[in-house]
């Protein structure tokens, strides 16, 4: 298996490349067109073929699929909750986690959850705020927290300096999950909702 993270220092945005080296198949999570040359080099170094791309927060989903003509990867796959995306002998499982954006998705691979802005939407450089606070709370409670405490969490952007955490740490220290009630969390999110 092959796993790499690309971090854009200026924006904090993160891109992930997962691959089955035996099958030479790769999946990209939240790739940025600006990173096309680096991603192409990573794929070429190991003789990999990008078989799919997925997005977590899909900030532009309402505008329809975005063209990736210059990028060495396919257009984003449109997965529904529960769908499996195979690559070689591996697969990603799509979890609908709306709230930060209405089209939010997280992707589970082994013990790793690629969760976009679900846990740090107020620091997202693409859309600071929460589109639907109540939906986000439900996503956290029903789709994220039930996973084992050792589950590794990979956000869509660095959050307070971290690029990876685990569920136990977030349960203990996240401001909305530690001591805040549902109403307190919704109020905090609502204060930072994006304006139309």
The domain spanning residue 56 has which CATH number?
A: 3.60.15.10
d(CA 106, CA 97): 6
Please report whether residue 186 resides in a domain.
yes
Q: Residue 122 above 70 pLDDT? A: no
Count CB neighbours of 79 within 10 A.
19
Q: Please tell me whether the overall predicted TM-score, pTM, comes out greater than 0.85 for this model.
A: yes
Residues in the chain: 196
Question: Percent of the chain beyond pLDDT 70?
Answer: 84
Decide if 154 is inside a domain.
Answer: yes
pLDDT surpassing 50 at residue 62? no
d(CA 85, CA 40): 21
d(CA 26, CA 184): 41
**Does 151 fall in a domain?**
yes
pLDDT above 70: residue 67: no
Instruction: Report the DSSP pairing between strands 112-116 and 152-155.
Output: parallel
For the cut 60, the answer to whether the pLDDT of residue 70 exceeds it is no
Q: Which of 11-20, 56-65, 96-105 has the lowest mean pLDDT?
A: 56-65
In a domain, 20, yes or no: yes
Q: What average pLDDT score do residues 125-144 get?
A: 85
The pLDDT assigned to 66 comes to 46
pLDDT at 49 over 90: yes
Number of H helices, E strands in the chain: 4, 10
Contact between residue 135 and residue 190 where contact means Cβ atoms under 8 Å apart: no
* pLDDT of residue 3 exceeding 90: yes
Q: How far is it, in rounded angstroms, from Cα 193 to Cα 8?
A: 25
Question: Which pLDDT score is estimated for 117?
Answer: 86
Which ranges constitute the DSSP H helices of 28-181? 36-45, 133-139, 167-173
184 domain residue, yes or no: yes
Residue 105 lies inside a defined structural domain of this protein = yes
Task: List the domain range (segments joined by +) for residue 150.
Answer: 2-190
User: Does residue 23 register a pLDDT over 70?
Assistant: yes
Tell me the mean pLDDT in the region 179-193: 77
Cα of first residue to Cα of last residue in the chain, in angstroms, is 43
Q: 196 in a domain, yes or no?
A: no
Q: Is residue 73 part of a domain?
A: yes
Structure confidence at residue 10 (pLDDT): 83
pLDDT band at 60 (very low <50, low <70, confident <90, very high): very low
Residues 71/109, Cβ–Cβ less than 8 Å: no
Query: Which of 74-83, 87-96, 165-174 has the largest mean confidence?
Result: 87-96
How many structural domains comprise the chain? 1
Mean pLDDT of the 64-93 span: 81
* Cα 165 to Cα 59, 75, 129, 135, 172, distances in angstroms: 23, 29, 21, 22, 12
Among 16-25, 68-77, 95-104, whose mean pLDDT is lowest? 68-77
């Amino acid at each position: 298996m092959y796993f790499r993270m690309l971090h854009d220092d200026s924006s904090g945005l993160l891109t992930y490349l997962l691959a089955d080296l035996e099958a030479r198949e790769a999946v990209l999570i939240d790739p940025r067109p600006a990173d096309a040359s680096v991603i192409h080099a990573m794929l070429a170094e190991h003789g990999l073929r990008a078989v799919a791309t997925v997005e977590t927060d899909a900030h532009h989903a309402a505008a329809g699929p975005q063209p990736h003509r210059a990028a060495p990867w396919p257009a984003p796959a449109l997965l529904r909750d529960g769908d499996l995306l195979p690559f070689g002998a591996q697969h990603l499982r799509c979890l609908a986690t709306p709230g930060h954006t209405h089209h939010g998705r997280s992707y589970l691979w082994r013990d790793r959850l690629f969760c976009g802005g679900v846990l740090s939407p107020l620091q997202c450089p693409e859309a600071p705020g929460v589109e639907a606070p109540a939906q986000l709370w439900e996503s956290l409670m029903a789709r994220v927290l039930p996973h084992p405490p050792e589950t590794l969490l990979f956000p869509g952007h660095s959050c307070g300096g971290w690029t990876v955490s685990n569920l136990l740490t977030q349960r203990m220290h996240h401001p909305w999950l530690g001591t805040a009630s549902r109403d307190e969390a919704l109020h905090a999110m609502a204060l930072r909702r994006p304006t139309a």
